[in-house]
């Protein structure tokens, strides 16, 4: 998702926001149309969450409307939240049909798809903890007068959280581009933090209904429309009615 125009106030009236999605789906082949994998659908829903965050803003200052200026560890909230509808049985029954005869996805296939979501998620979680803790410690504890060997630091972190040992010759850190050239320096934790916010926000939809208009309007009013005009944590609390909790994330991982 990228921005074409931001909302702003002009002498001629309001300039409405425009965003676009750059997709890389498999093209049609012969008479067969473009067919999307479930992973493709997730990506589309994810990026469309960013798109809605930009399009539904009511703030007229481009520096703080839409996705602009939103804290790095919260800007993924709308996009990661949107992914949950790809795993909702009611939503799947609406669009997951055979492209030739229109039959809905077989129940057995749907069940296996839904169960696959939590496959090895606990290992994924501790791996993300490993990456985030290593990133934070590398930036927090660096002493130019007495620098610690980064590989030794990673070994210390792995001794705390890793389940599967890695061989001594492993040099993952040398290619951890996120924290060196990818803009995530001391911010890799934001992946899990934003995912926690999204899982907790989805908990309200689970309680009140995934297609309940009142919840959707609250999401629009308290998060999507306000951009960075206030701290993201305040927007989350306004929507959820309380600070974020860890339980919904663990539940989404199948760990509760």
Catalytic residue among 47, 76, 195, 222: 47
d(CA 163, CA 176) in angstroms, rounded, equals: 20
Q: What is the 3-state secondary structure (H, E, C) of 166-190?
A: CCCCCCHHHHCHHHHCCCCCCCCCH
What residues contact residue 254 under an 8 Å CB cut-off, 6+ apart? Answer: 117, 118, 121
What residues contact residue 92 under an 8 Å CB cut-off, 6+ apart? Answer: 86, 105, 110, 113
Phi then psi for residue 142, to 5 deg, are -65, 130
What residues contact residue 129 under an 8 Å CB cut-off, 6+ apart? Answer: 161, 192
What 3-state DSSP class applies to 52? helix
Asked if 46 contacts 82 with a C-beta cutoff of 8 angstroms, the reply is yes
Is position 47 annotated as part of the catalytic site? Answer: yes
d(CA 132, CA 184) in angstroms, rounded, equals: 10
Active site residues: 47
């Amino acid at each position: 998702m990228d921005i074409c125009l931001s909302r702003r106030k002009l002498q001629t009236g309001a300039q409405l926001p425009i965003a676009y999605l750059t997709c890389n789906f498999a093209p049609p082949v012969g008479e067969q149309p473009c067919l999307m994998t479930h992973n493709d659908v997730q990506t589309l829903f994810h990026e469309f969450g960013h798109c809605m965050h930009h399009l539904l803003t009511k703030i007229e200052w481009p520096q703080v409307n839409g996705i602009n200026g939103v804290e790095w560890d919260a800007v993924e909230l709308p996009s990661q939240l949107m992914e949950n509808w790809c795993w909702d049985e009611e939503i799947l029954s609406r669009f997951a049909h055979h492209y030739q005869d229109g039959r809905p996805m077989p129940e057995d296939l749907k069940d296996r798809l839904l169960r696959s979501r939590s496959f090895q998620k606990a290992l994924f979680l501790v791996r993300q903890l490993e990456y985030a803790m290593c990133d934070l410690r590398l930036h927090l504890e660096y002493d130019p007068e007495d620098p610690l060997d980064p590989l030794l630091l990673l070994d210390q972190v792995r001794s705390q959280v890793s389940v599967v040992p890695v061989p001594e010759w492993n040099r993952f850190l040398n290619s951890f581009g996120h924290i060196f050239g990818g803009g995530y320096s001391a911010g890799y934790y934001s992946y899990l933090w934003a995912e926690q916010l999204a899982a907790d926000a989805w908990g309200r939809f689970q309680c009140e209904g995934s297609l309940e208009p009142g919840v959707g309007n609250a999401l629009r009013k308290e998060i999507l429309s306000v951009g960075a005009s206030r701290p993201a944590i305040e927007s989350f609390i306004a929507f959820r009615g309380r600070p974020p909790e860890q339980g919904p994330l663990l539940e989404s991982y199948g760990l509760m």
